[in-house]
Amino acid sequence: MPSRRRSIAGSIVPLAFAVALVASLAPRVAHAAAPSFSGVLFGDAFWVVSHNDKSIQDRTAFWLRRVYFTMDQPLDEGMDARVRLEMNDPGDFTSRSRLTPYLKEGWVQWTWGDHALVAGLGPTPTWHQVEAIWGYRFLEKTPLDLQRLGQPTDLGVAMNGAFGPEKRGVYRVMLSNGSGTSSEPDKGKKVMGSVGQSLASGLVIEIYGDIEARPGSTNRSTVQCFVGRSAETMRWGVQFARQVQERPGASDLDIDLLSAFATWKARENVWLIGRFDRLFDRNPEADDIPYLVLDPTAEQTVLIGGIDFVLRGKVHLVPNIEAVVYSVDGGTGPDDDILARLTLYVPWP
């Protein structure tokens, strides 16, 4: 019973915060344009062909991995707000829980010229550009996101904008709690920043870095370099990242990651997808990765391949395979993970 009460409270609190945010904006909203509503859902039919955890191997099921519901509200001139709810489940192959709703985003934005100030629970700059060019978040998260080496949203203040000739330069900075969608009472904070440049050829170059002060001397810092290009018939990107994690009583843990992807428009409404991620160090949090549950004791190579069929209404149906190959120094690693999936992505309106 106590765990159920905590689960209910965990759902009600963010929803109550969202309602309070909307209510606080009501006086301004009364004189502004009508809000717009949108949503997304995606999930899979899957078969675990092979897995490092034998109790998971050969499992088959249907699941919804994410459901989003978003309200965007213009306020006064140069000001707007967003409230986004997300629903998901643990994705651990064993839980039978229902989809749990929580507040994913809740922010107010002030815009002037080519710059904007965002306050509240908003998107971080960590993989903003990488995810935009990758374009297949519904198939798999971008590498740092997948490996739990950062947060997609965080509570704090952020600034972003454009600069330089033809406004091809872009910057994003954020000061936040570092706890994602959860609240925190400690004094540790996270500073994130990125700067990018778009060339006339469509090539994008971005450098990112962050420093996070955590309780218990478990501070973290991350650097990332990304080069990519988005064109009408092809998108590609190459990314290198390093995260240094301090560990009390032990040497620092350096996690290096290299990733490359490409998507190609083979014909009208048909895209081919390929991605390669190489993690050169073990990730202690790998067994907490939802919808995969990877081995935390070995280096890993993640391979993704699929065919995207774009149906009416921008609905995507993607047969795909995700494989994780493990290796350890001086020997063989755990059994490889292989998931065969049929992924459905439905946006609206």
* Number of domains composing the chain: 1
Please identify which residue in the block is written with the tokens 């509503």: 37
pLDDT value at 7 more than 50:
no
pLDDT value at 9 more than 80:
no
Q: How confident is the model at residue 329 (pLDDT cuts 50, 70, 90)?
A: confident
pLDDT value at 336 more than 50:
yes
pLDDT value at 118 more than 90:
yes
Q: How confident is the model at residue 60 (pLDDT cuts 50, 70, 90)?
A: very high
Span of 22-31, 152-161, 183-192, 279-288 with lowest mean pLDDT: 22-31
Find the CATH number of the domain harbouring 136. Answer: 2.40.160.10
pTM: predicted TM-score of the whole model, two decimal places: 0.88
- Mean pLDDT taken over the chain: 90
Containing domain of residue 16, as a range?
2-348
pLDDT for the residue 76 = 87
pLDDT for the residue 226 = 98
What is the per-residue burial (b if ≥16 Cβ within 10 Å, else e) of 231-246?
eeeebbbebbbbbebe
pLDDT tens per residue, range 273-290 = 999 999 999 999 999 999
The full DSSP string for 14-74 is HHHHHHHHHHHHHHHHTTSPPPEEEEEEEEEEEEEEE-SSTTTTT-EEEEEEEEEEEEEEE
Question: What percentage of the chain exceeds 70 in pLDDT?
Answer: 90
pLDDT for the residue 305 = 98
pLDDT for the residue 25 = 52
Selected residue with higher pLDDT from 251 and 139? 139
Span of 123-137, 216-230, 231-245 with lowest mean pLDDT: 216-230
pLDDT value at 56 more than 50:
yes
Selected residue with higher pLDDT from 27 and 100? 100
**Cross-strand bridge partners of residue 267:** 270
- C-beta of residue 323 within 8 angstroms of C-beta of residue 341: no
Span of 209-223, 232-246, 284-298 with lowest mean pLDDT: 209-223
| Cβ neighbours of 1 (radius 10 Å) | 5
Name the phi and psi angles at 325, rounded to 5. Answer: -105, 125
pLDDT for the residue 187 = 80
Selected residue with higher pLDDT from 4 and 166? 166
pLDDT for the residue 6 = 41
Distance CA 213, CA 189 (A): 5
